[in-house]
Amino acid sequence: MNKPTRSSTERPAVKKPKPSSAGVKATPARTRSKVTAAKNAFIAHELAPAVAIAALEKSEQTPGHLPAALDVLAAGASSSELAGHVRVQLLFENGSVLPVEMSAAAGAALSAGLASELPAVKKPKPRK
């Protein structure tokens, strides 16, 4: 079968151009930063804890044992960009790091609680 050929008087089909965004105003940077800050706050304060709790609740719990918890390989503390806060970073076996922000008072309470739960460590004698 041969394709029909176009005569010289036929015009090729014209595609309609996509509508331009010239009439649409861009969101101001100040508004975008407020939206971004609100989204980040929602993720940090609502979504992340809810997801972690939901995932842990899916684990099987044997009678008489504590519910599942995150298994952390190491932890460290550093200063926070927020005044009066400290950042604790939890390191997992796969290399993931979970940053946790808390008030300095909460950090001090955590430190005191850890100190009371951990066995006393003998400090090595200084060399003379």
The sign of the torsion formed by the CA atoms of 57, 58, 59, 62 equals: positive
pLDDT tens-digit profile of 49-73? Answer: 888 888 888 888 888 888 788 889 9
Nearest-angstrom CA–CA distance, 25 and 23: 6
Mean pLDDT over the full length of the chain: 81
Look at residue 116 in the predicted model and tell me its pLDDT: 92
R_g of the chain computed on alpha carbons: 30
Q: What is the largest CA-CA distance in the chain?
A: 105
Instruction: Assess whether pLDDT exceeds 70 at residue 76.
Output: yes
Residue identified by tokens 């089909």 is 13
Instruction: Assess whether pLDDT exceeds 90 at residue 38.
Output: no
β partners of residue 86: 79, 102
pTM: 0.58
Distance of CA 56 to the CA centre of its chain: 17
Instruction: Assess whether pLDDT exceeds 80 at residue 30.
Output: no
